[in-house]
Amino acid sequence: MSYRKWFEEHAARHAAIVSTLSHLDDAELIEYFDYENMRRMHPEFCPLYKEGTKCHDMEKLNCYMCACPYFRFDDAGAEEGDMRRFSSCSIEAKDARTFRHENSLHNDCSHCLLPHRSGFVAKHFSRSFREMMEGCDNSRSVL
Protein backbone atom coordinates (compact mmCIF):
# COMPACT_ATOMS: atom_id res chain seq x y z
CA MET A 1 0.00 0.00 0.00
CA SER A 2 1.36 3.44 -0.88
CA TYR A 3 1.71 6.14 1.74
CA ARG A 4 -0.88 8.26 -0.06
CA LYS A 5 -3.40 5.41 -0.18
CA TRP A 6 -2.97 4.82 3.58
CA PHE A 7 -3.23 8.56 4.20
CA GLU A 8 -6.50 8.90 2.25
CA GLU A 9 -8.07 5.79 3.79
CA HIS A 10 -7.11 6.88 7.29
CA ALA A 11 -8.40 10.42 6.71
CA ALA A 12 -11.76 8.94 5.70
CA ARG A 13 -11.92 6.70 8.82
CA HIS A 14 -10.96 9.63 11.04
CA ALA A 15 -13.59 11.93 9.44
CA ALA A 16 -16.29 9.28 9.84
CA ILE A 17 -15.68 9.02 13.58
CA VAL A 18 -15.25 12.77 14.16
CA SER A 19 -18.51 13.49 12.29
CA THR A 20 -20.42 11.46 14.90
CA LEU A 21 -18.88 13.41 17.78
CA SER A 22 -19.83 17.00 16.97
CA HIS A 23 -21.41 17.31 20.43
CA LEU A 24 -17.96 17.04 22.07
CA ASP A 25 -15.73 20.08 22.56
CA ASP A 26 -12.14 19.87 21.32
CA ALA A 27 -10.67 18.64 24.62
CA GLU A 28 -13.38 15.98 24.96
CA LEU A 29 -12.79 14.87 21.37
CA ILE A 30 -9.06 14.48 21.99
CA GLU A 31 -9.79 12.48 25.15
CA TYR A 32 -12.29 10.30 23.26
CA PHE A 33 -9.41 9.11 21.06
CA ASP A 34 -7.64 7.55 24.04
CA TYR A 35 -6.29 4.13 23.00
CA GLU A 36 -8.45 2.13 25.45
CA ASN A 37 -11.65 3.92 24.43
CA MET A 38 -10.93 3.69 20.71
CA ARG A 39 -10.06 0.00 20.97
CA ARG A 40 -13.43 -0.63 22.59
CA MET A 41 -15.59 1.77 20.57
CA HIS A 42 -13.96 1.59 17.10
CA PRO A 43 -11.99 -1.66 16.76
CA GLU A 44 -11.86 -1.18 12.98
CA PHE A 45 -9.97 2.14 13.25
CA CYS A 46 -6.57 0.52 13.76
CA PRO A 47 -5.45 -3.04 12.94
CA LEU A 48 -3.46 -3.14 16.20
CA TYR A 49 -6.65 -2.79 18.26
CA LYS A 50 -7.69 -6.33 17.36
CA GLU A 51 -4.32 -7.62 18.59
CA GLY A 52 -4.55 -5.61 21.80
CA THR A 53 -1.18 -4.00 21.10
CA LYS A 54 -0.07 -0.39 20.82
CA CYS A 55 2.06 1.18 18.12
CA HIS A 56 4.19 2.82 20.84
CA ASP A 57 5.05 1.61 24.32
CA MET A 58 3.44 4.32 26.42
CA GLU A 59 0.83 4.15 29.15
CA LYS A 60 -1.46 6.99 27.99
CA LEU A 61 -1.52 6.73 24.19
CA ASN A 62 -3.77 9.08 22.25
CA CYS A 63 -4.85 7.91 18.78
CA TYR A 64 -6.32 11.18 17.48
CA MET A 65 -3.50 11.94 15.07
CA CYS A 66 -2.24 8.42 14.41
CA ALA A 67 0.29 10.05 12.09
CA CYS A 68 2.57 13.03 12.67
CA PRO A 69 2.41 16.46 11.03
CA TYR A 70 6.22 16.32 10.74
CA PHE A 71 6.19 13.11 8.68
CA ARG A 72 6.90 13.67 5.00
CA PHE A 73 6.31 11.12 2.27
CA ASP A 74 6.79 10.91 -1.46
CA ASP A 75 5.48 7.75 -3.08
CA ALA A 76 7.80 8.27 -6.06
CA GLY A 77 10.78 8.55 -3.75
CA ALA A 78 13.84 10.73 -4.15
CA GLU A 79 17.33 9.58 -4.99
CA GLU A 80 19.70 9.41 -2.07
CA GLY A 81 22.96 7.87 -3.22
CA ASP A 82 22.15 4.40 -4.55
CA MET A 83 18.89 4.32 -2.55
CA ARG A 84 15.46 5.97 -2.84
CA ARG A 85 14.03 7.80 0.16
CA PHE A 86 10.25 7.54 0.48
CA SER A 87 9.73 9.24 3.84
CA SER A 88 11.46 11.44 6.38
CA CYS A 89 10.94 13.59 9.48
CA SER A 90 10.79 17.31 8.65
CA ILE A 91 12.19 18.30 12.07
CA GLU A 92 14.73 15.47 12.19
CA ALA A 93 13.42 14.45 15.60
CA LYS A 94 16.06 12.97 17.90
CA ASP A 95 14.07 9.74 18.13
CA ALA A 96 13.61 9.36 14.36
CA ARG A 97 15.42 6.47 12.71
CA THR A 98 15.80 5.27 9.14
CA PHE A 99 14.49 1.90 8.06
CA ARG A 100 16.34 0.39 5.09
CA HIS A 101 14.72 -2.21 2.88
CA GLU A 102 16.49 -3.33 -0.27
CA ASN A 103 17.02 -0.03 -2.18
CA SER A 104 14.48 1.92 -0.11
CA LEU A 105 14.81 4.28 2.84
CA HIS A 106 11.82 5.01 5.08
CA ASN A 107 11.43 7.06 8.23
CA ASP A 108 11.00 4.92 11.35
CA CYS A 109 8.88 6.82 13.86
CA SER A 110 8.50 3.93 16.30
CA HIS A 111 10.69 5.60 18.94
CA CYS A 112 9.00 9.01 18.73
CA LEU A 113 5.96 9.54 20.93
CA LEU A 114 5.09 13.16 20.02
CA PRO A 115 1.85 12.67 18.05
CA HIS A 116 0.40 10.33 20.68
CA ARG A 117 0.61 12.81 23.55
CA SER A 118 -2.61 14.72 24.24
CA GLY A 119 -0.75 18.02 24.67
CA PHE A 120 0.86 17.70 21.24
CA VAL A 121 -2.50 16.83 19.70
CA ALA A 122 -4.08 19.90 21.34
CA LYS A 123 -1.29 22.14 20.00
CA HIS A 124 -1.81 20.93 16.40
CA PHE A 125 -5.54 20.24 16.69
CA SER A 126 -8.05 20.37 13.88
CA ARG A 127 -11.18 18.29 13.43
CA SER A 128 -9.82 17.53 9.97
CA PHE A 129 -7.04 14.95 9.71
CA ARG A 130 -6.11 16.31 6.28
CA GLU A 131 -5.75 19.83 7.68
CA MET A 132 -3.50 18.67 10.52
CA MET A 133 -1.36 16.70 8.09
CA GLU A 134 -1.41 19.15 5.18
CA GLY A 135 2.38 19.20 4.77
CA CYS A 136 2.91 15.44 4.83
CA ASP A 137 2.19 14.43 1.23
CA ASN A 138 5.07 15.46 -1.00
CA SER A 139 4.20 12.87 -3.66
CA ARG A 140 4.37 13.71 -7.30
CA SER A 141 2.55 10.52 -8.25
CA VAL A 142 -1.18 9.84 -8.32
CA LEU A 143 -3.13 7.02 -6.63
What distance in Å separates the CA atoms of residue 104 and residue 87, rounded to the nearest whole number?
Answer: 10
Looking at residue 127, its amino acid is: R
- In this prediction, residues 57-75 reach a mean pLDDT of 95
User: Which pLDDT band holds residue 143 (cuts at 50, 70, 90)?
Assistant: very low
Give strand pairing partners of 98: 107
What distance in Å separates the CA atoms of residue 98 and residue 104, rounded to the nearest whole number?
Answer: 10
- The backbone region for 30, taken as left when phi is positive above 0, alpha when psi lies in -120 to 50, beta otherwise, is alpha
Burial label, 141 (beta-carbon count in 10 A; 0-12, 13-18, 19+)? exposed
| pTM, 2 dp | 0.89
Residue 142 has pLDDT above 80, yes or no: no
- In this prediction, residues 122-130 reach a mean pLDDT of 97
Return the pLDDT at 15. Answer: 98
Give the Cα-Cα-Cα angle 35, 36, 37 (nearest 5 degrees).
95
Contact 76, 137 (CB under 8 A): no
Contact 28, 22 (CB under 8 A): no
